[in-house]
Structures are given as C-alpha cells and as structure tokens.
Structure 1
Amino acid sequence: MASVQLDGISRRFGKSAATAKRAFDGIENISFTVPDGQFWVLVGPSGCGKSTILRTIAGLETATSGNLYIGKTLVNQVPARQRDVAMVFQNYALYPHMSVAENIAFGLTMRQVDAKTIQERVETVAHMLDIAHLVDRKPRQLSGGQQQRVALGRAIARQPQVFLLDEPLSNLDAQLRDGTRAELKLLHQRVGITTIYVTHDQVEAMTLADQIVVIDRGTIQQIGAPQTIYDRPVNRMVATFLGNPPMNVLPVTFTGAGFQLGEQSIPLPPRLKPQYAPGARFDLGIRPESIQVSREAGQLRAEVRVVEPLGREVLVRVVLPGEPQGFQPSLNVQIRPQLNLQVRDQIFLTLDLEQMFLFDPATGTRIYPIL
C-alpha cells in the first residue's frame, strides 16, 4: 500500500495545451495527498474533470504540468503498467470470452505469477466477494451487480498499492447500488488498500469517503470530511451540490434590519451584526431540513406547488409571493407526513436563522458564517 500525492497537476487538451490562455478543457493545478490506507472520493458534476484526475493517476493520461507521487516514487514518466495501481471502470471492462475465474486471474497471468498462487488468490477473492459459485460462468451470464464484483475481484487479486474506482456503481439499479456501496465500505475496511473513488453521486461520496474532494470545472473547490463539507461549505457550488435535496438558494437584499425576499422579509439572525450597507445583495442559503412549516404563522407566506411523499418524510416544493414583474422565489422543504399538505395549500415557513448561509452573488464565495 502507498500514499498518493498530486502536486500542481494540470491536464489540458487540444490547442490550449500549447497556449497561456486557458479555457476549461481538463484539470488545473490539482493538489492533494491521500494517506496510505484511506478512502477518498472525488465528486462533482459530470464533465468537471474528476475522471481525468483518476486516469492521470493511473497513467492513462499524461499530466501537462505538475508532479505525481505514488508512495515516495515520482511516477510522471512511469508507464501505467508499472505504477502498481488497479482501476475499475464504469463499464467493468470484463473479457466476454473468459470465465469469471479467468477474468479475476487476468492481471496475475499477465505478470506471470505461478499457477498455484493464482488459484489461491482467485479462490480467496471469489469467497470474499461471494461469487465463488460463479467462477465458471462467462460475463454475459451474470447480472450487473455480479459483473461489478468480478471487476473488483480482478483488482483485488492483483494486490496493488492503490485502487482507482471510476463510477463503478452507476450501471446498477438503486437497490443494488445501495447494497453494493455498503459492501465496498466493508471491503475497504477488510483489505485497507489506498482507494480513490470517482462519482457524481453525492450520496455515495458522503457515505463512503474518509475525505471528499469537490471538483468543478477542473479545479478543486473544497477538501474535507463529509460532515465538515456539508456543515461548512466554502461556496455556493459546494453548498448546493452536497445534500439531498439540495440547499435552497434565494436572492435577497439587505435592508439593515434583515433581508428582503420578493414581497416579504427575513429578520436578521441574532449572530449576524448589521455590518453590510442597506441595498447590498446576497444569495441566501438554507437547507430544506432547516425550515419549519406551519398552517398558522411564520416568517414567510408560501403556497404548496408540488408534494412528493417519500415514506417517513415528504418533500414539498413551495413558492413565495413574488415581485410585481412576476418573480416567484421557490424552496424545497421537508415535512412530516402527518401535516398532510396538498397542492395550493397556503402555509407559513420559519427559517432556522442559525443555519443560514450568505454567498456573494457574483463569485459564489461564502460570506456568512465567516470562513
């Protein structure tokens, strides 16, 4: 096992690789270190560059600039086959003409490991992943979840220094994905190999990671423990990306005594001193679970537009009375099923102002609570 260190890694494509002027087309100045044995998750929207980072670590892409270390070894010029990493792809990349056992053994066979060792590792891995009864089958005879386990088994059998997983659960149905996610976490606890996992699913990121790296448009937005990033996002992008349902973001104007939102106002949070000039504009962030709903009274009047029952809770989309030109701010709120709200019900919302965020509308940087 080994740590993985990226020091100012950039990867640009096309003409921009040879020019100083850069449009987003890859990754830029990526720096972080994954300690030996930890499970880190790279998360961000599709096309943000997270898979490019993973492929650069694997040696399938060549960094335009920066240094990459696996353990203490600089691997910039080391070919992929010599980096001692194992990568699991989104499509599993199994050989259709080979059996499960042959697929698991493939990496060992290519390295000319002796037959006895290969057999022992295949049997051990197959039992570990509960696919021992499938070793004689071909990939086409397996379900998506079983194929995913075979791909993982091939990586584990190699006993690499680093696992690289590129959205390995995205092809599975929701229930199987949840179960396999738990198995992945248990598997990492058992084998303890340094793992870097790429996903656009923030639930996977929150549940699997020791540390999360949030990426957008090829740059790192924030690195931290899952709960830390959720509780203290550094900007609007991170705040709205992590959380299901996402954080509500509303355009407001500071009045001196509070914030104007459409035709209504929100009082000043007790901890927030009136340090801004009246008329200053902000994006106000509040998570759905930080909003209380009442039929009698509250800070804001609202009308129910969409009701989504989820079992133990209900997700409700509401709109607030708008400005004369028709602007209607909307929010997601989570409520108890017992409230029994219906579309077009008139309700009141009370925001937990201790859980409120303010972001700069232009840059998205968090202004309050102060970083």
Structure 2
Amino acid sequence: MAKVKLQNIARKFGNVTAIENITLEIPNGEFWVLVGPSGCGKSTILRAIAGLESITEGEIYIGNTLVNHIPARQRDVAMVFQNYALYPHLTVAENLAFGLRMRREAKAEINQKVQTVARSLNIEHLLKRKPKQLSGGQQQRVALGRAIARVPQVFLLDEPLSNLDAQLRDDTRTELKQLHHQVGITTIYVTHDQTEAMTLADRIVVLKDGNIQQIGNPQTIYAQPANRMVATFLGNPPMNILPVTYLNGSFVINNQFLPINSEIEQRLHPIQGQNFDLGIRPEDIQLATSELNQKGYYTITVEINIVEPLGREILVKSKLLDTNINLDFLVAADWQGKQGDRVTVQLDLKRLFIFDVSSGKTLFASFAY
C-alpha cells in the first residue's frame, strides 16, 4: 500500500487541455473517487497514475517514489477497466494467476493466493471456466480478483460497474466496499455515477473541464458544495436552480416574494436589484399544508409537466406558472396528481443554497443536513 500524490499535473493534446493543475494527495489505504461529467479528465488522471498516459507537466508520486518516467509495468499498480480485459483463452484460475506468474512467484504461493481471492469474491466454483462461460457480473469479479491477487500498492478502477445491470451494480458496489475494508489497498475509482461516488468514497474529487472543483467527504460536498456545478451534479434528483432578485429583504421570483432570514442577509450583504441563483433540493420541497406553512416554509404554485413514479415515491417535474423555470420535487407513491394540474408546494427556507450568477461560486449553503 502507498499514498499517491499528484503535483500540478497537466495533459495537453496540441491546443486541447485534458487536465491542468491537478494537485491532490491520497493517503495510504483510502478509497478516493474521481467523479464528473463525460470529458472532465477523470480517466486521463487515472491512466496517468497507471503510466498508460504521459503527462505534459507536473509530478506523480506513488509512495515516496517519483514515477513520471517509470514504465507502467514497474509502478506496482493494478487497474480494472470497464470492459474487464480478461484473457479469453485462459480459465478463471489462470486469469487470476496471470500477474503472479509474470512476477515469477512460486506455484504453491500462486495457488494459495488464487484460492483466497476466489473465496473472498465467491467465484471458487468458476475457477475452471473460460470468460465466455461467465455472466457480466462474474467477469467483473474475475477482473477485480486478478487485480487484488497481485496485492499492488495502488488499485485503479475505471468505471468498472458501468456494464452491469442495476441490481448487479448495487450488489457489486457493496462487495467492493467490503473488499476495500478487508484488503486496505489505496484505491482510486473513476465514475460518472454520483451514487457510486457518494456510497463508496472516503473522499470525492469533483472534476469539470479538466479542473478540480472540490475535494471532500461525500456528506460535506453534498451539504456544502463549493459551487453550482458541484451542487447540481451530486444529488439524485439534482438540485433545482431558480433565478432570483433581491428586493427589500426578500428574493423575488416570478413576481412572488420569498422572505429570507437575517443570517442570509448578513452573509450576502445584498444590494437592491442584485441577482442570484437560488438552489433547493427536491427532497426539501413538499406539497403545501397549513401545518408546514407555519414552520418556516414558503409556498409557491406550479404546473405539473411530467410525473415519474420511482417506486416508493414519485418525482414530479413542474414549471413555475407562466415561466420556463423548472422545479422538481418528490411526493408519496400514492399521490394522484397528473400532467397539467396546478399545485401549491412549500420550499424549506432553512435549506437554501445561494450561488453567484456569473462565477457559480457558493455564497451561502444551508448546514441543516
């Protein structure tokens, strides 16, 4: 096991910059997740650590060793790809043992490690099969097992669950977390799935356009996002963003006034007519009741566009009346609303986020989570 340190690394392809000024230090044994939209540079960072991608600037350390010019095969890292990359002509046992044989380990030791890894991943009964005889989930376990068997200093995973169906993805995610607790290898995991990021990570690195937007533990990033991009990317369903204008102690939206508390005014020091983006998560919006209206909520009327049943609850996609401003919220599974209905909802004024319109920087974040 080893820490991983990236110091001001960059990768450029002609005039195109894939990543720039990436600086982070992953402590020994931690599980970090790189997350962001497609094209944000997360896989480039992973491949640079593995030695599969050269960097234009900066330094990469594994442990205390500068590895910029060390070939991939000598970096003592193990990588699991999205497409599994198993050897089709080898059995499961032979795939698991491949890296160990390349290191010329003793046959008895190889067999012991293969059995141990197979047992931990519940694939002992598959050891004599070829990859084509396995399901997608079984192939992914073999790919994980092959990497674990080597006991590398660093474990790199590039969207390893994206080809699995929803249930198998959930099950494998749980197994991955348990495996990390067992083996304790420093792990860097790339995904565009914010649910995977939130559930797996000790720390999340949120990326956009080749730059780091925020680093932190999942709950901190969720409750205290650094900017509008982070706030809207993490959370499912995503945060609502409403354009508002400050007037006389209230935010005005669509000619309706949302009173704000003194804490927000003290933090923002807004001036008359100043514009902001107001963020509120769907789970902090409820159908209006007189009881809730007495507890720091604000009512607003919307028109329903789409009703999406999610099983235990319903996601309602709506628009503020006579505008193109979207507002999504969640209701109970037995709710009977339909497209075209007008309903009154209540926003929890204690769970607002305020962002600068131009930069997207978070100016105020609720700490109620």
Which residue identity does 1:353 align to in structure 2?
L
The reply on whether 1:191 has 2:187 as its aligned counterpart is no
Deviates more, 1:293-302 or 1:75-84: 293-302
Deviates more, 1:341-350 or 1:124-133: 341-350
In structure 1, stretches of 5+ residues that fail to align are 17-22
Decide whether the 8 Å contact of 2:35 with 2:197 is kept in 1. Answer: yes
The reply on whether 1:284 has 2:278 as its aligned counterpart is yes
**Could you tell me how far apart the structure 2 residues matched to 1:293 and 1:349 are?**
4
Decide whether the 8 Å contact of 2:351 with 2:366 is kept in 1. Answer: no
**Could you tell me how far apart the structure 1 residues matched to 2:265 and 2:151 are?**
56
Show the 5 A alignment for 1:35-50. Answer: 35-50=27-42
Per-residue deviation, 1:338: 4.1
2:341 corresponds in structure 1 to 345
Which residue of 221, 231, 253 maps to 1:229? 221
RMSD of aligned C-alpha atoms?
1.6
**Could you tell me how far apart the structure 1 residues matched to 2:85 and 2:117 are?**
18
Q: Secondary structure at the match of 2:38?
A: coil
**Could you tell me how far apart the structure 2 residues matched to 1:64 and 1:319 are?**
46
Which residue identity does 1:95 align to in structure 2?
Y
The reply on whether 1:98 has 2:98 as its aligned counterpart is no
Show the 5 A alignment for 1:316-355. Answer: 316-322=316-322, 327-355=323-351
Q: Which runs of 4+ in 1 moved over 6 A?
A: none
Per-residue deviation, 1:115: 1.3
Decide whether the 8 Å contact of 1:155 with 1:163 is kept in 2. Answer: yes
2:67 corresponds in structure 1 to 75
In structure 2, stretches of 5+ residues that fail to align are none
**Could you tell me how far apart the structure 1 residues matched to 2:335 and 2:123 are?**
47
**Could you tell me how far apart the structure 1 residues matched to 2:223 and 2:365 are?**
11
The count of residues paired between Structure 1 and Structure 2 equals: 359
Decide whether the 8 Å contact of 2:173 with 2:200 is kept in 1. Answer: yes
Which residue identity does 2:348 align to in structure 1?
D
Show the 5 A alignment for 1:125-136. Answer: 125-136=117-128
Decide whether the 8 Å contact of 1:202 with 1:242 is kept in 2. Answer: yes
Per-residue deviation, 1:136: 0.9
The reply on whether 1:303 has 2:303 as its aligned counterpart is yes
Which residue identity does 1:126 align to in structure 2?
A
Per-residue deviation, 1:347: 1.4
Decide whether the 8 Å contact of 2:224 with 2:366 is kept in 1. Answer: no
Per-residue deviation, 1:106: 0.9
Show the 5 A alignment for 1:129-148. Answer: 129-148=121-140
Per-residue deviation, 1:77: 1.1
**Could you tell me how far apart the structure 2 residues matched to 1:57 and 1:74 are?**
11
1:19 corresponds in structure 2 to none
Per-residue deviation, 1:176: 0.3
Per-residue deviation, 1:345: 2.2
Cα distance change of structure 1 residues 76 and 26 upon mapping to structure 2, 3 Å threshold: same
Decide whether the 8 Å contact of 2:353 with 2:366 is kept in 1. Answer: no
Per-residue deviation, 1:253: 1.4
Decide whether the 8 Å contact of 1:48 with 1:216 is kept in 2. Answer: yes
1:294 corresponds in structure 2 to 288
Question: What do residues 130-182 of structure 1 show as CA deviations (whole Å, max 9, x unaligned)?
Answer: 11111111111100000000000110111101100000000000000000000
Which residue identity does 1:294 align to in structure 2?
A
Per-residue deviation, 1:342: 2.3
Per-residue deviation, 1:270: 4.3
1:2 corresponds in structure 2 to 2
Which residue identity does 2:315 align to in structure 1?
L
Per-residue deviation, 1:283: 1.0
Decide whether the 8 Å contact of 1:256 with 1:276 is kept in 2. Answer: no
Cα distance change of structure 1 residues 140 and 370 upon mapping to structure 2, 3 Å threshold: closer
**Could you tell me how far apart the structure 1 residues matched to 2:41 and 2:265 are?**
39
**Could you tell me how far apart the structure 1 residues matched to 2:174 and 2:128 are?**
26
Q: Secondary structure at the match of 1:152?
A: helix
1:20 corresponds in structure 2 to none
Per-residue deviation, 1:295: 6.7
Q: Percent identity?
A: 60
